[in-house]
Amino acid sequence: MDEFFSHRDGELRCEEVPLAELARRFGTPLYVYSANAIRARYRALVEAFAPDPPLVCYALKANHNLAVIRTLAALGAGADTVSAGEILRARRAGVPASKIVFAGVAKTDQEIRLALEKGILQLNVESAQELERIAAIASAVGRSAPIALRVNPDVAATTHDKIATGRKHDKFGIDLAEAPALYERANALPGVEPVGVHLHIGSQILDLAPFERAYGRAVELVRELRARGIPIRRLDLGGGLGVRYGDEGPADLRAFAALVRRATAGLDLELVLEPGRFLVAEAGVLVASVIYLKEAGGRRFLVLDAGMNTLVRPAMYGARHAIAPVRAPRPEDEILRMDVVGPICESSDIFGRDYRLPRLGPGDLLVFHTAGAYGMVMASDYNSRPSPAEVLVDGARFAVVRPRREPEEQMASERIPPWLDDPGRA
């Protein structure tokens, strides 16, 4: 989203704030988010469906920082959660319980009880076993759980294998052919109320054809269930809309909205969407500092202070982020091919090969674009390096929304057992 990250006077800014100034004040690696980029993406999605938009439940797993969630909640967004912790985060950030959906393949009894206690909108059921457990727990506490079965439509999305979730052999959801009988069971069970159908076929999808196939199968199921006397009133379409990491074209929101309207025409359904990456990925960047440029084995390695502990997507998925210097290159700068790597003692700690970048030296700043999703939320303390701070920028204002954690703070919650305090007793 170039309008929110642009060069002015030769340096890259997030909205009105120079990234170099943020790096100087808060250190690197550093995650920086544009509040107005998040708002713009949410509004564009809602406006594409006007005048009757669905409930947009932000998928917290993409970025669960409270300030990010609050930014979206203030616009009217709900929350798609996959754990008790995420339910608590959503509530802490101001999301009404009536706009929270609870998904996930392994809900514990404690998590189910919490969801019922909070009075959330819907629990998405992943299996027959989970349905029975929810019914039993809800009955025991004198509540009725609003549920939607997550159906697996057996649609292969055009995305990375590790983030495709709607194929028959994936671990997610209930086989579409088995769903009617399980809905019949749900309709007869005390403690549950089958209110909806849910599906989610994967993430980072830019081709709309898989959505069309999956939604068509879900709508057929809704019609069949209603014909059986099960009053389904809600269709939860999941998320999955892709973003630009490189030269991909942007998602066509109006075409997507038109597809959904065609698929659901005449059904009078409440619609729910669960975007995560789509709302926050392009609204965030990772700023890193150069340690040095190394030449070995006939290759150039640009070594950074950010690594796979900071941004794991390249190591985990083979993902490739656009990387650029914070200072705008000058016409006379020498452009070199180099492999961009981190400081971690793993051969997989590489962000990518053959990036074309100007010759850079110690202390120079680089920015990883499209890092607002699955960045800091998946970071770790591996190698006991300082954990990045997170900063939210809103026009000319900015605030640290998660402080940098130094090794001493990382160790603060650890304990040495008494018998190890005395080396002579070990």
Q: What is the set of domains in the chain, with CATH numbers?
A: 5-32+281-413 (2.40.37.10), 35-278 (3.20.20.10)
Task: Please give the angle made by the CA atoms of 361, 365 and 368, to the nearest 5 degrees.
Answer: 125
One DSSP character per residue, 62-93 reads G---HHHHHHHHTTT-EEEESSHHHHHHHHHT
CB contact set of 311 (below 8 Å; sequence gap of 6+): 286, 321, 351, 368, 371, 375, 379
Catalytic residue among 345, 412, 416, 426: 345
* Short-list 92, 135, 137, CA closest to 111: 137
* Residue 205: DSSP 8-state: B
Helix (H/G/I), strand (E/B), else coil: 125: strand
* Residue 387: DSSP 8-state: B
Q: How far apart are CA 359 and CA 314, in angstroms?
A: 23
Q: How far apart are CA 326 and CA 30, in angstroms?
A: 13
Whether 14 is catalytic: no
CB contact set of 173 (below 8 Å; sequence gap of 6+): 126, 149, 150, 151, 152, 165, 166, 199, 200
What are the backbone angles phi and psi of residue 153, rounded to the nearest 5°?
-80, 0
Helix (H/G/I), strand (E/B), else coil: 43: helix
Q: What is the pLDDT along the chain (426 residues), one digit of tens a residue?
A: 689 999 999 999 999 999 999 999 999 999 999 999 999 999 999 999 999 999 999 999 999 999 999 999 999 999 999 999 999 999 999 999 999 999 999 999 999 999 999 999 999 999 999 999 999 999 999 999 999 999 998 886 554 444 444 434 455 689 999 999 999 999 999 999 999 999 999 889 999 999 999 999 999 999 999 999 999 999 999 999 999 998 888 889 999 999 999 999 999 999 999 999 999 999 999 999 999 999 988 899 999 999 999 999 999 989 999 999 999 988 888 999 999 999 999 999 999 999 999 999 999 999 999 999 999 999 999 999 999 999 999 999 999 999 999 999 999 999 999 989 876 655
* Residue 202: DSSP 8-state: B
